[in-house]
Amino acid sequence: MTGIVTLTAAGAIDATYRVGTLRRGAFARADSYAREVSGKGVNVSAALAAGGADTAAVVVLGTDDVRFARAGLTAPLLRIVEVPGATRVNTSIIDAGGATTKVNAPTPPLSPEAWDATISALGVELAARTSPWLVISGSLPELAGTGALVDLAAVRAIAREHGARVAVDTSGAALDALLADPVGIDLLTPNAEELSATVGRPLDTLGDVVTAAREIVSRGVTTVLASLGADGLIAVTADHEVFARAEAPSVANTAGAGDAALAGFLLGLTREPAAGVDPLAVAAASAAEWGAHAVAHASTIVEGPPLGIRAVIETTPDLSHALTDEGQA
């Protein structure tokens, strides 16, 4: 099976509080509290492992939290690059109605030495796998002393060196920098809001999303997988689009659904499709099922495959269909 290596250059500790009611400016006592090593690449690798894939998560963590990380459920997947101090904490507060309020800590800068160590760890993991995927996930830190984000040129170079296909799930300045030179990116996974910001206009219908995705494809990206939140998702290539949607058995925590959907898409792509079956449809269905599976989990780390969840697939979707959700995942 194809190996998949994820990069989380800004690792995190996820803290999740469950409260009955959340009111601005008021005191609330949590009904429960959970803490786990996270970051988008770690979440992706956890879902991949739950689906039976060979995966490793290269993640930058503060030394203060390494002992905690090595005792967690994801410990076997982690390839930790240690930096001084504590890891940033991202906080989710989920009320009794299922609404999630999320506050992410700022991303601390990374020293040149730590960035070099991160690149080296990626090289080791990619070299250990045949025809691997490299998934670049989450926010990117600044390179200390430069005022600029770490340069992904070295990451893309090491991917080419090891024949790795590249998937990217990031936003903001990091996404803008990648889209300035996107040739060689095999898969890009924005949500509707990020895609809208990239093309500079609102996306009101499925057709608007497809048109925007094709603009990105025309720049050199092979496939765009656009998450539309409760509306589902759509995979778009230069000449083909597939829409997929799956019902979640319940909604416990929406954080991490996009990470699970990306993992599901890669799991679908790495399967050998039956004769006559569209591989893009298989991957899109798998993405929708894993995303629905994730929102039923209390934590951002999913356990086990999405049993009993089946996606509805449309290989000729109605492009006039109006979007009802903001598309965030």
What pLDDT digit, counting tens, does each position of 53-78 carry? 999 999 999 999 999 999 998 999 99
Give per-residue pLDDT as tens, 267-279. Answer: 999 877 677 779 9
Catalytic residue among 186, 259, 278, 325: 259
Confidence tier at 325 by pLDDT (50, 70, 90): low
- Better-predicted residue by pLDDT, 329 or 88: 88
DSSP of 263-280, one letter per residue? HHHHHHHTS-PPTT--HH
Torsion, CA 148, CA 150, CA 151, CA 152, rounded to 10 = -140
Q: Which residue has the higher pLDDT, 297 or 237?
A: 237
Residue 268: per-residue pLDDT: 94
Q: Please tell me the predicted confidence (pLDDT) of residue 276.
A: 72
Whether 253 shows a pLDDT value over 70: the answer reads no
State the residue for tokens 């250059």.
Answer: 9
Cα–Cα distance, 285 to 293 (Å, whole number): 12
pLDDT at position 329, please?
38
**Residue spans of alpha helices (H) in the chain:** 40-50, 66-70, 112-127, 153-161, 172-179, 192-199, 206-217, 257-269, 279-295
Q: Which segment of 110-114, 176-180, 234-238, 284-288 scores lowest on mean pLDDT?
A: 176-180
The percent of residues in the chain predicted with pLDDT above 90, rounded, is 74
Q: Which CATH number fits domain 3-314: 2.40.110.20, 3.40.50.970, 3.40.1190.20, 1.10.8.60?
A: 3.40.1190.20
Question: Is 293's pLDDT higher than 60?
Answer: yes
259 included as an active-site residue: yes
- Region label for 254, one of left (φ > 0), alpha (ψ between -120 and 50) or beta (otherwise): alpha
